[in-house]
Amino acid sequence: MTRERILGIPYDNLTMESMISRVEHFFRENKPRIVVLLSLPLLMTARRIKLIKMLLERADLIIPTGKHIYRAAKLLKRPLVETIDPSVFVKKLMLQSVELGKKVYLFGGKGNTIDRAYDNLKKEISKLFVIGRHKANYNKREHDDIIKAIGKASPDYFFIGIGSPDEEKWILENQKEINAGIIVLIEGLFDLFAGNIKKGVRYKNLLIETKVTNRNIPHPHSLKKLWMVPVYVIAVFIERIFWKK
């Protein structure tokens, strides 16, 4: 299936149902897979850092998220077939893991964020089989032991949420060693699941007018990324002017 692109960065334009079905199909092929939630910060980072773009190019499923990507897709006359709430998508994957009898590992957040996220997720999905969890801000001396522990656990789903571009770099360095079936990069969603941030955002513009529940992925460095928005908007308009169908 041919992928769509915004500013040269790929993404899959599918319905939520199709994405969930594709993940289930991945298990039948019995090979490691990577699923990425594509946010504005990740898109802009991939344009600057070749390694990050390389990971996106070889990712097996790329889900576009956030109002800026939705707007750009419509402006470029490649409207998304469905607007995907990343938190709902991730929880659907967790429900899928229960239905398939698969193991889940949660990796990310700072302090006790991952523990609170785990507690809240278990309340919502009681049969979720979390074989392990660990915070992202660990001591470097612990790294090898943590990687070995994850590899020994051999999770079917490995959810990593430490923010872009850190999580992409972490996966590029450690993918083989963690021995995971499907790696899902979820940026700041553990903060949402832990209750560190609240759901419910409303925005209105010429291209989208809707009420969303965290369709913009929480990003730990959002204030530092404000410069990305005007640069991104200008780049998208330039692409719109010169793009030929």
List the CATH number of the domain containing 102: 3.40.50
Residue 9 is encoded by which pair of tokens? 């960065």
Number of domains in the chain: 1
Give the chain's largest Cα–Cα span. 52
Residue 14 lies in a domain: no
Are the C-beta atoms of residues 189 and 215 closer than 8 Å to each other? no
Is residue 214 situated within a structural domain? yes
3-state helix, strand, coil in the chain (%, to 5): 50, 20, 35
Q: Per the structure block, which two tokens stand in for 218?
A: 């929480």
15 domain-assigned: no
Residue 117 lies in a domain: yes
| Average pLDDT of the residues in 197-213 | 42
With respect to residue 8, please indicate whether it lies within any of the assigned structural domains.
Answer: no
The answer to whether the beta carbons of residues 54 and 171 sit under 8 Å apart is no
- Neighbouring CB atoms inside 10 A of 100's CB total 12
Domain that holds residue 139: 31-242
In a domain, 67, yes or no: yes
* Cα-Cα-Cα-Cα dihedral sign, residues 190, 193, 198, 201: positive
Alpha-helix runs per DSSP H in the chain:
16-29, 40-48, 50-58, 67-75, 86-100, 113-124, 143-153, 166-178, 189-194, 228-242
Q: Give the pLDDT confidence of 32-51 residue by residue, as tens digits.
A: 999 999 999 999 999 999 99
Give a yes or no: residue 10 inside a domain.
no
9 within some domain: no
Higher per-residue confidence, 231 vs 123: 123
Nearest C-alpha neighbor of 159 from the set 12, 34, 68: 34
Query: pTM (2 decimals)?
Result: 0.87
Give residue 78's Cα distance to chain centre.
Answer: 21
**pLDDT tens per residue across span 74-108:** 999 999 999 999 999 999 999 999 999 999 999 99
